[in-house]
Amino acid sequence: MANKPDHYDGSDIQVLEGLEAVRKRPGMYIGSTGPRGLHHLVYEVVDNAVDEALAGYCDTIEVWIHPDNSITVDDNGRGIPVDKHPKEKIPTVEVVLTILHAGGKFGGEGYKVSGGLHGVGVSVVNALSSRVEVSVFKEGVQYDISFDHGKTAEKLREVGKVKRGNGTTVTFWPDPTIFTDTTVYDYDTLASRFREMAFLNKGLKIILHDERANPGSTLSDLAPEPRTEVFQYAGGIVDFVKFLNEGKETLNKPIYFEAENDDGTVEVAMQWSSSYSTNSVMAFANNINTHEGGTHLDGFKQAVTRTINEYARAKGILKEKDSNLSGDDTREGCAAIVSVKLHDPQFEGQTKTKLGNTEIRPLVQNAVTQGLAEYLEENPKPAKRIIDKATQALKAREAARKAREMTRRKGVLDSFALPGKLADCSSKTPADSEIFIVEGDSAGGSAKQARDRKTQAILPLRGKILNVERAGLHRSLSSDTISSLITAIGTNIGDDFDADQARYHRIIIMTDADVDGAHIRCLLLTFFYRYMPELINRGYIYIAQPPIFGLKKKNSRSPKIERYIYDESALGKVLAEYDNPDKFDVQRYKGLGEMDPDQLWETTMEPETRTLLQVNIDDAAEAERVVSELMGDQVEPRKEFIQKHARDVRFLDI
């Protein structure tokens, strides 16, 4: 605080030290300064508006992504208080924006989004923005205040009378010196988060505008025109499970129950489909996706397993000699949302997304046991379909176990018998090792020549891989491609899966930049999503980014490529950078096979210079939906999707 201006009083110093701490260690407050952290700023502001909605004062939230990647969030709540704060002697809105952790400390009754990375408060957004502008509307009067790098720039002033209802508008510009990777917002990331928010808060309307546009481009992350989407669901989480099951053949109408006691509220919606997935149960606590599960999810699972077994036995479907249906059997093809709201949520676990409150478990368990038992009794036809599905899962599980034992005896899944096509790396340290899963033998050949043998392994895949979504585990295992993939990775699969056995900590999908390549990539992602989600959670799965254009000097006899372009939308910009673009030939790469080994190394494989996209399941709902829309029973949506999103990677946080 060397050059602290002399007119600061004690509270100002506290303010600066607080926000300075945030600027020094942003990761402690928002997780990272990468794209996730950047998007987190928006959630933090929107969470305040959602809290206002949970308190019953606000029903519409509007968000704009501006062309300069600044963000505006507006709500029609009460407006952040503008009166003088009794302790700090400055307007409360200024306290909220400048004092660390001020946000959560006020509030009275009700459930608030807090804990985890959320609820750190909007002052953190202020600290990490080069500028913030806030307008508060109360009783027809507008009040403005603004901040630069967390410091009050223009004090609160009464602007005058306006014709609009109460509310708050916040605009912020993420500080590019903090978010050094990128300050560009991803529309899909924000859209799926707001969709989720709208599902979880029945009736709440969230409107997202993207004012950015990239005219003339069909294959870029930006839409060709500005766009607006409205998220509002009268059915709440019932609509959520319908959404998760879109494109699937369902076995029952969504079941819904809710319960409440002094500890909190629980809402559950569930619906089975004929799909094989067992990881479509999503649990939330105070609107936060508890990826790591917790007490609410445990209560749900126990209740479902027990209730279905009891029903199946009572109806004589399970005989005395039969073994019980496992939890996985009862949840195969089950899409479910478990949403609890509680006063003081305890978030634990590695990513602070595991709910620890033990008092919520019996509430969920009783609600589900009672609700599900009643449903099964009253709806015998869908009940039979659900039980049949679970008993089939049990049979498949036993068959798969037998098949696994067979193949293991034959040595197929044995780690000593690595697949013949694998060109392994010499390093045996997984943290240093990576494997490229390459489409086709010819690209595989180039990659084998190009690679760094010490750390880079190559596994060429011949043709398309089996669609695991439709085939199920049993058939998948008997496919050559799948079993060589599993063996090469080394983790095994199903009950025997062990992420610690992964032979590589970077598993890189490298496919052509065309529609077939996109399809193969989707199939591989589906495989990892279904059978090795833990590898995605650990951040082991990546997608290689081969260039799509190369610029070569015209009439030059040298094959030297002057410049590679990885993004369709950048071509025009790059050509314009050169004084005389006529002097270049633009070569379009359709397949990896068109590059020689040196080029493949230089553009795509060299660790120092390449770009990799890391796959995560942050948005499991979206991944689940896209995967089933793409890979499910219906063919038309798949075709359309692939045509529309040939290079789109919505599983990804770049």
Residues at the binding site for Mg(2+) are 439, 512, 514
Q: Put residue 139 in one of left, alpha, beta given phi > 0 → left and psi -120 to 50 → alpha.
A: left
Query: Would you tell me the crossing angle of helices 380-410 and 360-378 to the nearest 10 degrees?
Result: 110
Please give the backbone phi and psi of residue 261, each rounded to the nearest 5 degrees, phi first.
-145, -165
Spell 94-119 as b/e; 16+ CB within 10 A means b: bbbbbbbebbbeeeeeebbbbbbbbb
Q: Which stretch binds ligand 1YM (CB under 6 A): 70-78, 261-269, 518-526, 628-636?
A: 70-78
* x/- map, 399-438, ligand 1YM, by CB under 6 A: ----------------------------------------
Q: Which is nearer to ligand 1YM, 65 or 520 (CB)?
A: 65
Which helix or strand (DSSP H or E) is residue 74 part of? strand 71-75
Q: Which is nearer to ligand 1YM, 45 or 363 (CB)?
A: 45
The residue among 61, 152, 164 whose CA lies nearest residue 113 is: 61
Least distance to ligand 1YM, CB of residue 191, Å? 18
Tell me: does residue 96 bind ligand 1YM (CB under 6 A). yes
Least distance to ligand 1YM, CB of residue 211, Å? 17
Residues near 518 by beta carbon (within 8 Å), at least 6 away in sequence: 511, 642, 645, 646, 647
Cα 477 off chain centre by: 28
Q: Which is nearer to ligand 1YM, 48 or 433 (CB)?
A: 48
Tell me: does residue 136 bind ligand 1YM (CB under 6 A). no
Instruction: Give the Cα separation of 50 and 62 in Å (integer).
Output: 11
Q: Which is nearer to ligand 1YM, 103 or 116 (CB)?
A: 103
Q: Is 150 in a helix, a strand, or coil?
A: coil
Residue 298: both structure tokens together = 């445990």
Tell me: does residue 75 bind ligand 1YM (CB under 6 A). yes
Q: Which stretch binds ligand 1YM (CB under 6 A): 104-112, 235-243, 337-345, 415-423?
A: 104-112
Determine which one of 47, 439, 469, 624 is catalytic.
Answer: 439
Residue 23: both structure tokens together = 């600027």
Tell me: does residue 73 bind ligand 1YM (CB under 6 A). yes
Instruction: Give the Cα separation of 336 and 269 in Å (integer).
Output: 6
Residues 150-209 that bind ligand 1YM (CB under 6 A): 168, 170
Tell me: does residue 81 bind ligand 1YM (CB under 6 A). yes
Among 18, 77, 236, 382, binds ligand 1YM (CB under 6 A): 77
Residue 83, Cβ density class (10 Å: 0-12 exposed, 13-18 middle, ≥19 buried): exposed
Decide if 584 contacts 616 (C-beta within 8 A).
no
Decide if 563 contacts 550 (C-beta within 8 A).
yes
Residues 49-68 that bind ligand 1YM (CB under 6 A): 49, 52
Q: Which is nearer to ligand 1YM, 105 or 573 (CB)?
A: 105
Least distance to ligand 1YM, CB of residue 52, Å? 4
Determine which one of 246, 328, 480, 514 is catalytic.
Answer: 514
Active site residue 292: no
Residues 30-49 that bind ligand 1YM (CB under 6 A): 45, 48-49
Active site residue 512: yes
Active site residue 188: no
Active site residue 514: yes
Determine which one of 188, 348, 516, 534 is catalytic.
Answer: 516
Query: Would you tell me the crossing angle of helices 468-477 and 515-531 to the nearest 10 degrees?
Result: 60
Q: Which is nearer to ligand 1YM, 190 or 400 (CB)?
A: 190
Tell me: does residue 247 bind ligand 1YM (CB under 6 A). no
Q: Which is nearer to ligand 1YM, 98 or 275 (CB)?
A: 98
| Residue-by-residue DSSP string for 166-202 | SEEEEEEEE-TTT--S--PPPHHHHHHHHHHHHHHST
Tell me: does residue 108 bind ligand 1YM (CB under 6 A). yes
Least distance to ligand 1YM, CB of residue 379, Å? 43
| Amino acid, single-letter form, for residue 275 | S
Binding annotation = 439, 512, 514
Q: Which residues are catalytic?
A: 439, 512, 514, 516
**Which residues of this chain interact with ligand 1YM, rule CB under 6 A?**
45, 48-49, 52, 73, 75, 77-81, 92, 96, 103, 106-108, 168, 170
